Amino acid sequence: MIEIKDLNKSYHMGSNSLHVLKGIDFSVKEGEMVSIMGSSGSGKSTFLNILGMLDEADSGSYTLDGKPIKNLNEKVAAKYRNQFLGFIFQSFNLINYKSALDNVAMPLYYQGVKRAERMEKALHYLEKVGLAQWATHLPNELSGGQKQRVAIARALASDPKVLLADEPTGALDTQTSYEVMELIQNINDEGKTILLVTHEDDIAHMTKRIVNLKDGLIIDDSNVTQVRASVAKNKHLQSKQTSNV
């Protein structure tokens, strides 16, 4: 699904230049669920943004679903993003003047889907994330967890091949994080490829493979046994109850 070879990325600020990614080789097969870890500033977001075609690498090759991603103009990049990728951001990035339903329907608008069909599909995905009854609410009327679930529904709406999530639980408390992870696991169970960035160990262990970034290189890449978020959620709930007693 994803093939990366010798990927390099530097940021230039005036005369200074910062080599963030120093030759990354990486591949992901369809249906995988990968977490990318590393200390702050190690280049996780940069890497994910390049994978998401939100940013461009300086050198190296990147193939997504067999298509070379190189020197794409904005038009093609937008098309690929719309067809292949779904994004989930730490800060949700919902459009604040649009209802939950309209937010979810947005990718479909850019796919050229007609309004009626769009709304139907959007509602379907809102149901999937358990927010059907919140469809007409604006983002600022929703909790963080709900917002992230709307964002997940939006990412799913265009039926992408790969979901990219940059710290999807970064702004959520533990309980809500697990709920969101449960949802993401379910999506992966249905066969969708998922890459997520996190610096929380417990979240990383809910994926099937952990990639560790350090100083612009992958220092570790290993498969792990997936911890089911539903189990972790219940454990957490119990421990909270005991500590409250």
Ligand X SMILES: Nc1ncnc2c1ncn2[C@@H]1O[C@H](COP(=O)(O)OP(=O)(O)OP(=O)(O)O)[C@@H](O)[C@H]1O
Angle made by CA atoms 191, 181, 30, in degrees to the nearest 5? 20
Cβ closer to another protein: 146 or 158?
A: 158
Crossing angle (nearest 10°) for helices 229-244 and 174-189: 160
CA–CA dist 225, 157 (Å, integer)? 29
Residue 93 Cβ, how far from another protein at the closest point, in Å?
5
Other CB atoms within 10 Å distance of the CB of residue 139? 19
Residue 223: name its binding partner from another protein, ligand X, Mg ion, none (Cβ under 5 to 8 Å by kind): none
When binding is defined by CB under 5 A, the residue of 42, 45, 103, 158 that contacts Mg ion is 45
* Residues of this chain, 176-215, that bind ligand X according to CB under 6 A: 199
Query: Is residue 20 a contact point for ligand X (CB under 6 A)?
Result: yes
Query: Is residue 12 a contact point for another protein (CB under 8 A)?
Result: no
Residue 40: name its binding partner from ligand X, Mg ion, another protein, none (Cβ under 5 to 8 Å by kind): ligand X
Residue 40 Cβ, how far from Mg ion at the closest point, in Å?
7
CA atoms within 13 A of residue 237's CA, in its CB half-sphere: 10
When binding is defined by CB under 8 A, the residue of 78, 219, 224, 237 that contacts another protein is 78
When binding is defined by CB under 6 A, the residue of 2, 24, 44, 207 that contacts ligand X is 44
Q: Which of 137, 133, 111, 132 is nearest to 122 (CA)?
A: 132
Residue 107: name its binding partner from Mg ion, another protein, ligand X, none (Cβ under 5 to 8 Å by kind): another protein
Under 8 Å between Cβ of 127 and 118: no
Cβ closer to ligand X: 10 or 226?
A: 10
Query: Is residue 46 a contact point for Mg ion (CB under 5 A)?
Result: no
Distances (CA, A) of 74 to 69, 77, 84, 219, 226: 12, 5, 15, 33, 37
Q: List residues binding another protein (CB under 8 A).
A: 49, 52, 54-56, 74-75, 78-79, 81-83, 87, 89, 93-95, 97-98, 102, 106-107, 109-112, 114-115, 154, 158
Q: Which residues bind ligand X (CB under 6 A)?
A: 11, 13, 18, 20, 38, 40-46, 199
Contact residues for Mg ion (CB under 5 A)?
A: 45
